Amino acid sequence: METFGALAAHLADVDTSNFKYQNAKTKLLTLDSGRLLKSKFGGFNDTLTAMHGTMSTVALPESARHMVLSEGKDMVRERYKSFFETYSVYNFSKKKQDEYLRYPPILADSIYDELFAG
């Protein structure tokens, strides 16, 4: 399950108690405070994109595919949903927030379903 483990590695909780804001009105995090969330969301996105690019063309027998996807999705689905819901509310990027949040949980879940489909 290394495949999904690489995704899960980006989903560790973040200590938000030390966040600082550039602008109290817009709740925009400072560059330093936003970097951690950018790194986590960006790493997840890059890993998911790479997985999809390489593993959607790999074919597995249906029983093996079901087992791999089931175990993998169980490993990351709820963790990512919780991570996304918790941290996507922070305004951590002035210009590219949408890019970092381009994989809402429902979209990520549909991408998992395309893996190993050949």
Q: Is residue 78 part of a domain?
A: yes
Q: Is residue 16 part of a domain?
A: no
Q: Is residue 88 part of a domain?
A: yes
- Per-residue pLDDT reduced to its tens digit, 5-48: 999 999 999 999 999 999 778 789 999 999 999 999 999 999 99
C-alpha 91/C-alpha 101 separation (Å) is 11
Look at residue 69 and tell me whether its pLDDT is greater than 90.
yes
| Domain enclosing residue 64, as ranges | 2-11+21-114
Q: Is residue 108 part of a domain?
A: yes
Domain count, the chain: 1
Q: Is residue 94 part of a domain?
A: yes
Q: Is residue 50 part of a domain?
A: yes
pTM for the whole structure: 0.92
Q: Is residue 103 part of a domain?
A: yes
CATH number of the CATH domain containing 59: 1.20.1280.170
Position 3 confidence tier, pLDDT thresholds 50, 70, 90: confident
C-alpha 16/C-alpha 96 separation (Å) is 20
Kindly tell me the burial class for residue 112, based on how many C-beta atoms sit within 10 Å of its own C-beta (0-12, 13-18, 19 or more): buried
